Every structure is written in C-alpha cells, then in structure tokens.
Amino acid sequence: MLNKEFNFIGSEGTVTESGCRPSSNTCPNAGGQDAINGASWCTSGGYPTVSVTYDVAGTGYIDVKSNKSIVGVGSAGVIRGKGLRIANGVTNVIIQNVHITELNPQYIWGGDAITLAGSDMVWIDHCKFSLIGRQMIVTGYSAAGRVTISNNEFNGVTSWSATCNGDHYWTMLFLGSSDLITLVGNSIHDCSGRAPKVGGASTANVVLHAVNNYFAYIGGHAFDVATGGNVLIEGNAFVSVTTPITTASSSAGGQIFNVPSSSYTSTCSTYLSRSCVVNSVSSSGTFSSYTTTGFLANFSGKNIQAATAASVVIANVNANAGVGKIGN
C-alpha cells in the first residue's frame, strides 16, 4: 500500500551526453521534445546531435515480481521519476490507484511508466500517467499475455511535445507476440499519437478489445493499427479527436472492427455472445469504417468485457477514471 509519494528524481544522479533533435521537433527550445539516444535511435535515424541532460532514474525501472499488488491509498500513492517493469515470466500482478509521473518528460526515451514483457495476468486499474518521456504503457516483443487496463487517466498535457502542440505523443504501444488486452473505461486526453498504437513488429500478435473509453482533445491520432494488431473498437466516445483511426491502419497489415453503425452490431454475436455497441464521434475527424471480422474468432470462449452505450461513457469515465476514485 502506497500512502505517500516516492520520489526517485536525483536518486541515481544525472547524465549529460549526446542526444539528438528529431525531425518532429519543429519548435526547438519552445515546447519540442529532443531525444536521448535510447536503443541507438538517434544514431540510426541520422538526426542532428544535441547535448541532453537527464535524470538516470527515469530511464530505469522498478522490477515487480509475481503475485504482487501495488495499491495507492486515497490519492497519496505517487511514484515520481521512475517506472515499473513486469517481465521475465512474472504473473498475477495488480497496479491500482497509483500516479506515475515525471520521467524526463522533456526527452523522447526519457522513460516508460509501465513496461510489460514476458508477463501474464496483469491488471492496471485506476492509475494516472502524466509527464512521461516515452510510453505511458508499453508491451515488449515477448508476450504480455492477459492484460486489463481499466479506469485509468492518460493525461497527455505537457510542456515538451514531440508534435509541438502541447500534447504527449508516446501514449500506449502494444507490440507483444501473444497479447490479449482489454482497454476499458479509460480517460485518454490531450495526447497526439499512439493512443494506442497496436502492432508494428514482425512478431506482433496483439488482440485488443477497446470498449467504453473516452478519447478527448487528441491533437493527432488515437488508434494506429499495424502488422500483428487486431482491434475491436466498440462503445467508445471520441470528442475533438483529429484522427480517430489512422488511414494507414487499413494498409499496414492490421485488422480492425470498429462498429461504424448500428448495421454492424449483430456481427459480434457469433463471437462475443452479444451484440457490439456503436461508437460515438463528435467534433472529430472522419471515423472510417473498418469491418474485418476474421480475427474476432479470438474472442470466442473467453470472458468478454460488457459494454454500455457510448452515450453514457463520458459521464461514467469522468466519475471513475484516475486515482482517488476506487469504488466510484
């Protein structure tokens, strides 16, 4: 039980070294994000070199072992300056009611809030993510297994934006080789990309059920579905989202069923033992129709998240998502 803030900033010192200025940073020194040379990203990208100074703790992580729960008390549970990793065969983990924040937010590769790789049976619930340098939640190339991400707040408001618009780009990235992910009841706001990105690696095999989430003020794209990504999108509310689903998703090897109208709700009955729920889209870009159904067979015989009408999603998510709201 976390009943206070744990601040790791400065605990492992700082480093000054060569990083880079990616082409996305069109507003250097005025709200853009430069990059640490993580995974030789700067070198392979051929970007101009700049000096970067960052907190070492943020680029590492706290390893969480099997059969563990990390639960915040009230609104007091904060982990500042360091993320969590659930990996290497770890199973049966709950992260609940915890705010993870301030992982070198000025730099791409500054740190990931939660990393899943070679894990199974993970529940991330009622947490808040803010001011993260890289991904708020990321699954590595190995299987993340069965994961539920529920009632969280993904707060993308930042002073260091990869897209120079005050919105965080690196929100969620799901790349695992055998992932079953339920994304339900989350508030995902003021982001500009990867909200989420599903697939994109040659070994990716991700089945994602996105249901009853509230996507708001996305100054870029929400869903980006690539090779190995299989996504059912139902009963979500999109408000002021520039691009709800990237147009590249239809040609990038991903599969999507997004229930574009009531004409398609009965399609799910064969696989989910219930009808699907239409999404709500307002003040947003075009919500193109994606109606691939073959991958829905992955849902057969499994416990499937129930879905409410999209008309009540905004009120429900505002009342329930984030820290200090367990039991709402």
Helix H, strand E, coil C: the string for the chain is CECCEEECCCCCCEEEEEEECCCCCCCCCCCECEECCHHHHHHHHCCCEEEEEEEHHHHCEEECCCCEEEEECCCCCEEECCEEEEECCCEEEEEECCEEEEECCCEECCCCCEEEECCEEEEEECCEEEEECCCCEEECCCCCEEEEEECCEEECECCCECCCCCEECCCEEECCCCEEEEEECCEEECECCCCCEECCCCCCCEEEEEECCEEEEEEEEEEEEECCEEEEEECCEEEEEEEEECHHHHHCECEEECCCCHHHHHHHHHHHCCCCCCCEEECCCCCCCCECCHHHHHHCCCCCCCCCCHHHHHHHHHHHCCCCCCCC
Given the residues 21, 134, 146, 194, select the one marked as catalytic. Answer: 194
Q: What are 101's two structure tokens? A: 């924040």
63-73 per-position pLDDT tens digit: 999 999 999 99
Q: What are 305's two structure tokens? A: 């998240």
Domains annotated for the chain, with CATH where assigned, are 5-9+60-320 (2.160.20.10)
Band (250; pLDDT cuts 50, 70, 90): low
118-158 per-position pLDDT tens digit: 999 999 999 999 999 999 999 999 999 999 999 999 999 99
The reply to whether the predicted model has a pTM over 0.75 is yes
Name the average pLDDT for the chain: 96
pLDDT for the residue 201: 92
Tell which residue, 60, 221, 97, 62, has the closest CA to residue 156: 221
**Residue 146 known to be catalytic:** no
307-323 per-position pLDDT tens digit: 999 999 999 999 999 99
pLDDT at 247 over 80: yes
256-302 per-position pLDDT tens digit: 999 999 999 999 999 999 999 999 999 999 999 999 999 999 999 99
How much is the average pLDDT of 249-255? 76
